[in-house]
Each structure stands twice: as structure tokens, then as C-alpha cells.
Structure 1
Amino acid sequence: MEIVDDIARAAATAAVLFLDEEGQVLIVEPTYKPRWEIPGGDVERGESPRGACERVLHDELRLDRGPGPLLVVDWAPLVREERVRFVFDGGTLSETELDHIELRPDVLTSWAFLSPDELFVMMEPRLVRRVLSAVDAHRTGVPAYLEGGTVAGTQPVP
């Protein structure tokens, strides 16, 4: 008799929501995909989601700043594998911190701030929903649990 391993083993990603003083969201342009995203990356084996954020922020933006509180957990079902996506609060970046951003050229092309209303232009809809939930959690102090980029139990926004 063959034993089937049916225990879920979702990969994890971790990202950070940074805002400017006007409440705009920091987004980055990856070299390896067509749409923009917020800073973050895959959680490596043996690494915590917070640790992944610290590593990615240092490696890809040269920001030596750890993430703040958890804003969003999003269970993201995909065709090949499930993912659990964490978004942490990065707070507001100062002008000095912005002046010292140094992009890793093989990973990121550029960065910009956009108002939450403009994110749909640059990012895929599921990520926009996750980021808007993170902005709301930042504002209210109440973390959100999502499934597929949508508050669990509600219908996704196209």
C-alpha cells in the first residue's frame, strides 16, 4: 500500500508596505516580471518571514530597516503550489532613507510612490487587493486575513 503525503506545504513570501508622508505606497519594478510589486521576496528554508523581509530589504534596496507589525496574511492558491503571503508594516520612509535607496540592478529596475488609487495601473489585481488591505490595516491597526487577495468570505474584486 502506498502512503500519500497530503499535508499542505505552502511556500511563503514576505513583503513590506512602505508609505511616504502623503500616504503613497512604495512599489518596485522587478527585472524578472512585467508587473510592479511592493518590496519583498520568498522566505527561504529555515528563515522567518520577518527575517526574509530584512534580508530582501538589505539585499535589494540597501535599506537596513526591519519590518514592523504584521498587516496581512494572504493564503494564495495557485495551480502549481499554494503560497502564504505575509505583508509587514514598514512605516513611513524619511527623505534621508529615500536618498539612500540603492537598487540591486539584476533584480530591480526602479522604484516609485503611487497613491493607493493608482496601484491598479502598475500591479496585478490580486496584489493590489492585498496592498489595499495592508494600507487599511496600517491605518486601523487591525491585521487582515485574506484568501486569494480577498477578505475571507467575500467575493474577489476583478
Structure 2
Amino acid sequence: MSDSTVSEAVAQPRTAAGVLFFDEGGRVLLVKPTYKRGWEIPGGYLHPGETPSQGAAREVEEELGIAPPIGRLLVADWAPHPVEGDKLLFVFDGGRLAPEQFEAITLDGVEIGEYAFHELDQVDTLLIPRLAHRVRAAFDARADSATAYLEYGTPLS
């Protein structure tokens, strides 16, 4: 782009990152926010200048009171919201929580009021559809040692 080119509008998505943690039985950890209905994965919006993995780690520490290592990227999803606009959402692998990490979980009591481990077949009823699609894609990516790219929660073929 040269100096004489008229600048054009570019996407400025809201960016968020979450983490999937598992127990010894392969169930996924979900959290229940206090400020809205339903369940979520631990995570949230990034702060300015923060990378997705840094934001995911910060959110986990704020919400759960633990600071386990954040693993590899499982999913990147371009998922615009009809009200909130463009969104770019990342899901990282948190791996299996060790017993001492599980025992150290301390909910913040402000944003998160409850947590529980759930089977994969429960995510469709517990999560909003677009997040359920993302979590299912993350499960598949984890099993395949891959990273999935989604648009609107759907893998590109």
C-alpha cells in the first residue's frame, strides 16, 4: 500500500482466549459465570498488547486461582457475533490437571460461581451452540495432535 492509497477499513475483532482442562477421566472443566446463564470454558477477552496465550493464562489465574502451563493452540475461530461484531477466538490445551492443581482451584466468586467436569456428550446442552462447536473441534484437534481453523464455528473443508 503506497502513501497515495486511500486507507480502507480493516477488521478490528474483539479477541478472546480460553483453555480446556481435563480430569483423569477425560472430562472437560467448565465454569459457570455469575453474570450470565449457562456454562463457559475458562478464559476471556484479551487486554491491549496481550497475546492470546498470555490472556488465556491471566484469565485462568483470575477465574480459578491456579497458574498451570498453557499448552498448544487447538482452535482459532473467526466467529462474528450479531450484536458484538467481529470476534477472533482461540482455544488452548490446558492438559490434565494434576490432583494438587485441582485441589488448589479457588473461584474468584465475582465472575465465576461454580465449576465442574463434564463429558463431551454434555457440551451441546450446557454451552451455547457456537461454543459447543468450538469445544468439539478442540477435542478433535487434541485427539489428532492438530490445530483447527474454524469460521463461524465450522471447520473449512
TM-score normalised by L of structure 2? 0.92
Name the counterpart of 1:137. Answer: 141
**Alignment match of 1:82 (pick from 58, 81, 86):** 86
Instruction: Measure how far apart 1:4 and its partner are.
Output: 7.2
Task: Tell me if 1:127 matches 2:131.
Answer: yes
Instruction: Measure how far apart 1:66 and its partner are.
Output: 2.7
Q: Give the length in aligned residue pairs.
A: 151
Task: Tell me if 1:18 matches 2:21.
Answer: yes
Q: What code does the residue aligned with 2:149 have?
A: Y
Give the SS at the match of 2:91: strand
Instruction: Measure how far apart 1:39 and its partner are.
Output: 0.3
Q: Percent identity?
A: 40
Name the counterpart of 2:120. Answer: 116
1:61-83 CA distance string (max 9 Å, x none)? 11111310000000001224110
Name the counterpart of 1:156. Answer: none
RMSD: 1.3
Give the SS at the match of 1:73: strand
Task: Tell me if 1:60 matches 2:55.
Answer: no
Q: What code does the residue aligned with 2:68 have?
A: R
Provide the C-alpha distance between the structure 2 equivalents of 1:140 and 1:125, rounded to a whole number of angstroms: 23
Q: Which runs of 4+ in 1 moved over 6 A?
A: none
Provide the C-alpha distance between the structure 2 equivalents of 1:28 and 1:61, rounded to a whole number of angstroms: 9
Give the SS at the match of 2:95: strand
TM-score normalised by L of structure 1? 0.91
Provide the C-alpha distance between the structure 1 equivalents of 2:115 and 2:127, rounded to a whole number of angstroms: 13
Instruction: Measure how far apart 1:47 and its partner are.
Output: 0.6
Query: Contact 1:53–1:66 (CA<8 Å) still a contact in 2?
Result: no
Provide the C-alpha distance between the structure 1 equivalents of 2:21 and 2:11, rounded to a whole number of angstroms: 31
Name the counterpart of 1:148. Answer: 152
